[in-house]
Amino acid sequence: MSCCGTSPDFPELDEVSRLVSKKLAAFLRTLRDNGFAVGPAEGQDAASLMASGYAARPGLLRSALKHLFSARKSDWEKFDGLFDAFWLGKRVRSRSPTMGAAKAANSPSMKSLQEGSTERGASQSATDQIPSADNAPEGRGGEGRMEGASRADNFAEVDFRKLADPEQVAQAHAAAARLAKAMRTRLTRRDLARRRGYRLDLRRTIHRNISHGGVPIALVKRQRKDKPLRLVVLLDASGSMSMYTSVFLRFIHGVLDEFREAEAFLFHTRLAYVSAAMKEKDAGRALDRLSLLAQGAGGGTRIGESLKTFNRWHAARVIHSRTCVMIVSDGYETGDAALLGREMAALAKRCRRIVWLNPMMAWEGYAPVAAGIKAALPHVDLYAPANTLKSLTALEPYLAKL
Amino acid sequence: MKDREEIAQALATAGYIADSELATAVSLMQRLRRPLLLEGEAGVGKTEVAKALASVHTTELIRLQCYEGLDQSSALYEWNYQRQLLAIQAHHGADAETIEDQIFSEKYLLERPLLAAIRRAKSPVLLIDEIDRADDEFEAFLLELLSDFQVSIPELGTIAATAIPHVVLTSNGTRELSDALRRRCLYHYVDYPDVDREARIIMARIDGAGASLSLQIARMVESIRKEELRKVPGVAETLDWAAALVGLDVRDLHDEPETVHETLMCLLKTQEDKARVTREVTERLLGKVA
C-alpha cells in the first residue's frame, strides 16, 4: 500500500488534494464541535490515509477515520452518524435512518445542527429552576458590594430556602465553592502527613549503598501509596428540591474543581452524568451547560430507577475502595420504594460510605416517614441535614476520617 | 498486509475471528504507526487481539500487565544491583573508572517489558494490558515512551528503538484515561460478537464443536446476555461452556436440557445470577434456540 499508486498529472492532483483537504478541515471542525478531541496530527494522518486508497469506498473510509478520530466509547457510537451526515449528505436519511443520532438525520448540514441545538438549549434553560449566575448581579451590584464580608457569616445559618435576594444567592454560591475548596485542602494535608514508610525496600537500599561498598548505611523505605478519597455526588434535581438545587450545583462545581477525584450525577426521573459539563472552570458557564442536562427537573423523582442506572452503568468505573457516595435528596420517591431499598443495598456493598444529605431534615416537625427514605435509611452510613452552609461544613471532619 | 479481507483472513488463521472494523484498525495501525487502544467489557477478547497479531506477524508478544503502583523499575529497566555489588567486591582495588564502566554496562541491565519491546531486531507486539489499572503518573510516562520510542538511562545514555513495536493497549474502563493518551492512539470499541461471529469463534477455538452445536451455543449465550444479569458472560465464558459441552459429549442442546442447565455455571459467575437463571428460565431460553 504505497502512496505512489495514485499519481495522475501534477496540477490535477494538486487541485483534487486542495479540495479534499478543504473538505477534510471542515469535517474536523464539525467533529470538534461535537466534542471530539482531534488536532492537526490527526488531520494529517487522515489526509495521508485518503491519499493512499482508503477513500475508495465510503465504508472503508468511515471505518478508518472512526478509529483515528474516536477517543472514547461515546465518540465511537456517534461517529457513523456524523460521518454519514457530512460526507454522504441526504443519502443517509433514506438509507439508514436508525444510524447515529436522530438529530443528525434531520438536518444534512452539521453547522445548522450545531446552531439548532444551542438555540434549543437557550429556550429550555428558561424553564429551568437554576438561576443563572449571570443575571444575579444585575442592578444590585453596587448596593450589595457595600455590605462587605461580615454578612457572609450570617449566611452560614440561613436556610437556603430563605435566600431570596439574588445577591445573597450569589454569595451563598461563592461560599459553597469556597467550602468545597477548603475541604479538599484539608483532606490532602492529612494525606501528606501519613507519608512514612513502614517496610524496607531491599533492592533500593542496596542500590543506594553501592557507594558505601554495599554496607547498608542509608535505608530506603517503602510505603503504600494512599488512594485519595473519591467523592461521588448524586444530586436530586426534582421539583421538590428546586429551592436547593442551585446551591448544591455550585457546591458540586467547587468539589469537582478542587477534589483530585470526584464525579457528579444529577437525577430526577432519570440519571445524567454531569462531571464533564461541570469541569468547565467558569461557574456561570458550567451551570448553563448543566441547565440542559437538568431538563425534566420539576417532575417526579425516581431515585430507585436512577440508582439502578447508576449501579448498572457507572458504578464499576466511578467507584473504588475509597469512595464516598453522597446523595443529596429529600427522599420523596415517586417510583417503587422497594426498588430503592434493593439498589441502595447493592450500592452499599460497593462503596466505602454512603452519606445522605437531606435539606428537609432540619425543618421543624420533619420525620423520615416517606416510603423512599425509609427504605434507603438502613443502608446509609451518615444521614445529615444540609440546608445551611454550616451544616455542609460540619461534614468535613466526617469525610476526613474516611 | 494489503487489504482488510487479507488481514481478517490472517487473523482467522491465527485463531481470531475479527469483524471488518477491527481489520481496518489493524491495517491503520501499520500504516500510521499509532498504538491501538481497545476498550470493551471484560472477556470480549481484547487481549486475544494482541496474541493473534503477534502470530500474524510471526513475531514475539511482549506483555506488560498493569496494576496499581506499577513503576518504571518493573516496567522499563532496573540495574542488577546484586551482580553490581559482586563485581565491585571482585574487582577490589581496581581504579574507580574501570569498575564504573563495567558495572554500568548492558550486562548488568535488567530488561523489563517496555525496554525489551524497543530493543528487538524485529518489531514485536507490545501488549499493555489493562492500562486503566496503572496510576496517572505511569500513564504520563508511557505517553512519552509511545511518542518517541526511546528511553534514556542516565548511566548509559539514550536507547532508541531498533524497530518500532506494534503497540496494543487494553482498558476495562475502571478509570477514565487521559485525553492525551486517547488522542495518541487509534480507538476501537470491542463489543460482544453477534451470533454468527460467536459461532465461528467457537468452531475455530474448540476442537470437536460442530457447526450446528456452535450456532446453538452462540444463540443461547446471546439470549442469556439479554437477561438482566449482574455479570454478563463474555466470549471467554462462552468458550469455556462450549468446551464443557463438547467434553460431556453433548451434540444437541435440546437433547440434554439437564446438562445444559448444570453447565451454565461456566457462564454465570455470581450467586445472584445463578439464582436468577432457574431451571424454568433455562428451558424458556432453550425454547428460543432453534
What is the mean predicted confidence (pLDDT) over A129-150?
35
Q: Is A123 helix (H, G, I), strand (E, B) or coil?
A: helix
Strand-pair partners of A235: A266, A328
Block residue for cell numbers 460442530: B210
Among B67, B71, B74, B81, the residue to mutate for chain A (most A Cβ within 10 A): B81
The least confident of A367-381, B6-20, B218-232 is A367-381
Task: Check the CA dihedral B226-B227-B230-B234 and report its sign.
Answer: negative
Which residues have CB under 8 Å from A201's CB, separation 6+? A220, A221, A222
Distance set, CA B114 to CA B78, B164, B187 (Å):
12, 12, 21
Gap between the Cα atoms of B184 and A41, Å rounded = 9
CA nearest to B25, candidates A309, A69, A240, A271:
A69
Minimal CA separation from A66 to chain B, in Å: 8
Contacts of A48 in chain B (CB under 8 A): 31-32
The residues spanned by each domain of chain A are: 3-123, 200-226, 230-401
d(CA A318, CA B45) in angstroms, rounded, equals 23
Inter-chain touch A71–B182, beta carbons under 8 Å:
yes
Q: Say how far apart CA A185 and CA A39 lie, in whole Å.
A: 35
Residues of chain B contacting residue A42, judged by C-beta atoms under 8 Å apart: 183
Residue A232 has phi, psi (to 5 degrees) of -115, 115
Distance from CA of A272 to the nearest CA of B (A): 17
Contact check, Cβ <8 Å, A39/B186: no
The CB density around residue A296, as the number of other CB atoms within 10 Å, is 17
Distance from CA of A117 to the nearest CA of B (A): 25
Chain A and chain B share a number of CB contacts under 8 A equal to: 86
Please state whether B33 falls in left (phi above 0), alpha (psi between -120 and 50) or beta.
left
Question: Cell numbers of B81, please?
Answer: 544491583
Which residues in A284-397 belong to E strands, given as ranges?
323-328, 353-358, 382-385
Q: Output DSSP code: residue A310.
A: I
For residue B201, give how far its alpha carbon lies from the nearest alpha carbon of chain A (Å): 22
Over 50: is that where the pLDDT of A130 sits? no
Mean pLDDT is highest, among A121-135, B133-147, B242-256, for B242-256
Chain A residues with CB-CB distance to B24 below 8 A: 60, 63-64, 67
Is the pLDDT at A240 greater than 90? The verdict is no
Q: Which amino acid does the sequence have at A391?
A: S
A6 confidence band (pLDDT: 50, 70, 90): very low
The reply to whether B271 touches chain A by the CB within 8 Å rule is no
Hey, are the CB atoms on A63 and B24 less than 8 Å from each other? yes
Q: What is the DSSP letter of B190?
A: P
Q: How many whole angstroms separate alpha carbon B265 and alpha carbon A185?
A: 48
B233 near B193, Cβ under 8 Å? no
d(CA A338, CA A398): 29
Complete edge-to-edge strand list for the sheet that includes strand A271-273: A271-273, A262-267, A230-236, A323-328, A353-358, A382-385
Closest CA to A6 of A25, A24, A20: A20
Chain A's closest residue to B92, CA to CA, is: A213
> Amino acid identity of A208?
R
- Write out chain B residues lying below 8 Å of A73, CB-based: 39, 173, 189
Choose which CATH entry (3.10.129.10, 3.30.565.10, 3.50.50.60, 3.40.50.410) describes domain A230-401.
Answer: 3.40.50.410
Cβ separation of B4 and A60 shorter than 8 Å? yes
- How many Å apart are CA B57 and CA B13, to the nearest integer? 12
Over residues A207-217, the mean pLDDT reads: 76
Which amino acid, one-letter code, is at A382?
Answer: L
Interface test with B, best of A67, A70, A210 (most B CBs within 10 A): A67
pTM: 0.65
Give the tens place of pLDDT for each residue, B131-177: 988 887 888 888 888 888 888 888 888 889 999 999 999 998 777 78
With contact defined as beta carbons under 8 Å apart, do A328 and A380 qualify? Answer: no
Tell me the pLDDT band of B199, cut-offs 50, 70 and 90. very high
Name residues 211-270 of chain B within 8 A of A (Cβ). none
- Rounded CA-CA distance A148/A140 in Å is 14
In chain B, which residue's Cα lies nearest the Cα of A72?
Answer: B187
Neighbouring CB atoms inside 10 A of B226's CB total 10
pLDDT tens figures, A328-373 = 888 888 888 888 888 898 888 888 889 888 888 777 777 777 788 8
CB B108 within 8 A of CB B79: yes
Return the exposure string of B125-152: e unless at least 16 CB atoms fall within 10 Å of the residue's CB, then b: bbbbbbbbbbbeebbebbeebbeebebe
Name chain A contacts of B79, Cβ cutoff 8 Å.
207
Percent with pLDDT over 90 in chain B: 33
Grid cell 457516595 is found at A325
- Cα–Cα distance, B275 to A341 (Å, whole number): 19
Chain A contact residues (CB < 8 Å to B): 1, 37-39, 41-42, 45, 48-49, 52, 60, 63-64, 66-68, 70-73, 75-77, 203, 206-207, 210, 213-214, 224-225, 316-317, 320
Task: Quote the cell numbers at residue B276.
Answer: 436468577
Cα–Cα separations (whole angstroms), residue A239 to A243, A277, A326, B64:
8, 21, 19, 51
Binning pLDDT at 50, 70 and 90, where does residue A194 land?
very low
Min Cα separation A302/chain B (Å): 20
Give the Cα separation of A108 and A371 in Å (integer). Answer: 49
Model confidence pLDDT, tens digit, residues B101-130: 888 888 899 999 999 999 999 999 999 999
DSSP 3-state of A101: coil
How far is the C-alpha of A204 from the C-alpha of A220, rounded, in Å? 6
B38 CB-contact burial (10 Å; exposed 0-12 / middle 13-18 / buried 19+) = buried
Is B28's Cβ below 8 Å from some Cβ in A?
yes
Residue B210: exposed, middle, or buried by beta-carbon count in 10 A (0-12, 13-18, 19+)? middle
Q: Is the dihedral of CA B27, B31, B32, B34 positive or negative?
A: positive
Give per-residue pLDDT as tens, A31-72: 888 878 888 888 888 888 888 888 888 888 888 899 999 888
Q: Answer with the residue of higher pLDDT: B282 or A196.
A: B282
Minimal Cα distance from B172: which residue of A?
A: A317
DSSP secondary structure, B133-169, as one string: GS-HHHHHHHHHHHHH-EEEETTTEEEE-SS--EEEE
pLDDT higher than threshold 90 for residue A274: no
Q: Does B174 touch chain A (CB under 8 A)?
A: yes
Residue A258: CA count within 13 A, CB half-sphere: 20
Q: What is the dihedral of CA B85, B90, B94, B97, to 10 degrees?
A: -30
B178 to chain A: closest CA residue: A71
d(CA A331, CA A359): 10
Residue B22 burial (CB < 10 Å; 0-12/13-18/19+)? buried
Q: Residue range A182-189: average pLDDT? A: 58
CB < 8 Å from A in window 110-139 of B: 135
The confidence score (pLDDT) of residue A182 equals 65
Contacts of B73 in chain A (CB under 8 A): 203
Look up residue B92 and give its amino acid: H
Rounded CA-CA distance A299/A265 in Å is 17
pLDDT at A97 > cutoff 50:
no
Please report which helix (H) or strand (E) contains residue B7, including its range.
Answer: helix B4-13
